[in-house]
């Protein structure tokens, strides 16, 4: 399950990063509103997918921390990007990766046997 969490997390993180870069590019449109709204959107739209990719990379060594990073990234992406078709693709991939990571933490590590 850890390998599945790694693969799904990397795919979800890359899709979220592409979607976030579009948000970064069009973040200047949010500058017309409240002061500082565009800056926080730009930082979150790139920072959260990077955190998701870090979590996907950590899921093999420390599955609980990696799964928590992917789960938090999925929730934050849903909050900042809204509920639409294009934002649900990375959110669902990261959420599935987080669930697989948490389930992978319950796997017993295979210990190599020494023959004498």
Could you tell me if residue 77 is inside a domain? yes
Rounded to two decimals, the pTM is 0.83
Domain extent for 9: 2-104
**Total tally of structural domains belonging to the chain:** 1
Kindly state the greatest CA–CA separation across the chain. 73
Tell whether the torsion through CA atoms of 77, 44, 29 and 23 is positive or negative: negative
14-70 pLDDT, tens digit per residue, is 999 998 888 777 766 655 556 666 677 788 888 999 999 999 999 999 999 999 999
Could you tell me if residue 114 is inside a domain? no
Could you tell me if residue 7 is inside a domain? yes
**Nearest-angstrom CA–CA distance, 116 and 107:** 27
Could you tell me if residue 37 is inside a domain? yes
Local confidence band at 103 (pLDDT 50, 70, 90 cut-offs):
very high
Look at residue 73 in the predicted model and tell me its pLDDT: 95
Could you tell me if residue 112 is inside a domain? no
Look at residue 82 in the predicted model and tell me its pLDDT: 82
Could you tell me if residue 74 is inside a domain? yes
């Amino acid at each position: 399950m850890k390998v599945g969490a790694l693969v799904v997390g990397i795919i979800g993180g890359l899709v979220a990063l592409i979607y976030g870069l579009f948000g970064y590019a069009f973040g200047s449109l949010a500058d017309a509103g409240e002061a500082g709204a565009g800056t926080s959107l730009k930082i979150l739209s790139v920072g959260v997918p990077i955190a998701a990719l870090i979590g996907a990379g950590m899921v093999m060594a420390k599955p609980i921390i990696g799964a928590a990073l992917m789960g938090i990234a999925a929730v934050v992406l849903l909050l900042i990007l809204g509920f639409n078709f294009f934002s649900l693709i990375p959110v669902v991939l990261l959420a599935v990766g987080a669930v697989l990571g948490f389930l992978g933490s319950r796997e017993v590590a295979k210990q190599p046997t020494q023959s004498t």
